[in-house]
């Protein structure tokens, strides 16, 4: 995979791209990440990449010419997907990361200031992505989030090839609780089932806990991926236990 990132602030990527999985993936030759200064595609000695908005108002807007020139110079035909990072975009999700991991070439456009000229949005970008309902200074941090989520899904990046299949959201469920040594810490123990050595019981406990956590924290995921018959039984048992534990219940 190749990823080109168009930005006014290339130095923002220096640290994250030289650490952890993003560095490992590059060292293995699994991804080629190139940070491109938008000003390289400007004209004139002042290398102006932004201008005041038509109609007035505060802030500056990124000009269309350098962005169009950059994409046209970098794109590789149908293998390229041009993505604008902006607050108005579709919310970035795990399914989006999985889809983009199959694209040979990504070009990520990092907006800044008051955003980009609308013609970039409507005639250059093929899709828009947002990492949440809040506004950041620019698209650099969202671009890093997208790259991290996508690159870790490339074959050979993670030590455990099956790891992504167990991640939160991969199956429409949050991840189950994880524990490690010591078995007891400050009076806090590890669930007995995890120490039992019974792999079937452990697998069942993990599925149940993943379902419990999803039902409590992200019930919307249960609507997107409806529970199986077995999961519905577990949810019914959880609801019964919750009712029995309510204050004032005679069964306490």
CA distance 231 to 96: 26
Of the candidates 39, 69, 93, 114, the residue annotated as catalytic is 114
Reduced to 3 states, what is the DSSP secondary structure of residue 117?
A: coil
Does 114 qualify as catalytic in the annotation? Answer: yes
Does 152 qualify as catalytic in the annotation? Answer: yes
Q: Is the peptide bond before 182 cis (omega within 30 degrees of 0)?
A: yes
Maximum pairwise Cα distance, the chain: 81
Residue 36 per-residue DSSP state: E
Of the candidates 128, 148, 167, 209, the residue annotated as catalytic is 167
- 107 close to 6: Cβ distance less than 8 angstroms: yes
Does 4 qualify as catalytic in the annotation? Answer: no
CA distance 36 to 221: 37
Of the candidates 87, 166, 207, 213, the residue annotated as catalytic is 87
Provide the token pair at 211: 């379902």
Does 90 qualify as catalytic in the annotation? Answer: no
Where in the sequence numbering do the catalytic residues fall?
87, 114, 152, 167
């Amino acid at each position: 995979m190749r990823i080109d990132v168009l930005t006014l602030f290339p130095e923002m990527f220096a640290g994250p791209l030289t650490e952890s999985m993003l560095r490992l993936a590059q060292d293995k030759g699994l991804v080629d990440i190139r940070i491109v200064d938008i000003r390289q595609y400007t004209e004139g000695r002042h290398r102006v990449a932004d201008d005041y908005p038509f109609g007035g108002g505060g802030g500056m807007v990124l000009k269309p010419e350098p962005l169009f020139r950059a994409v046209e110079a970098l794109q590789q035909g149908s293998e390229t997907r041009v993505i604008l990072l902006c607050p108005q975009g579709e919310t970035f999700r795990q399914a989006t990361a999985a889809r983009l991991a199959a694209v040979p070439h990504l070009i990520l456009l990092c907006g800044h200031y008051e955003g980009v000229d609308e013609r970039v949005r409507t005639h250059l970008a093929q899709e828009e992505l947002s990492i949440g309902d809040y506004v950041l200074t620019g698209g650099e941090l969202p671009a890093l989030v997208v790259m991290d989520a996508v690159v870790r899904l490339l074959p050979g990046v993670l030590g455990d090839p099956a790891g992504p299949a167990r991640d939160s959201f991969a199956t429409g469920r949050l991840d189950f609780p994880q524990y490690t040594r010591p078995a007891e810490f400050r009076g806090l123990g590890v669930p007995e089932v995890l120490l039992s050595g019974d792999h079937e019981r452990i697998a069942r406990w993990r599925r149940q806990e993943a379902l419990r956590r999803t039902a409590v924290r992200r019930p919307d995921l249960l609507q997107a991926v409806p529970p199986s018959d077995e999961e519905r039984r577990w949810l019914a048992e959880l609801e019964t236990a919750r009712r029995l534990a309510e204050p004032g219940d005679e069964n306490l």
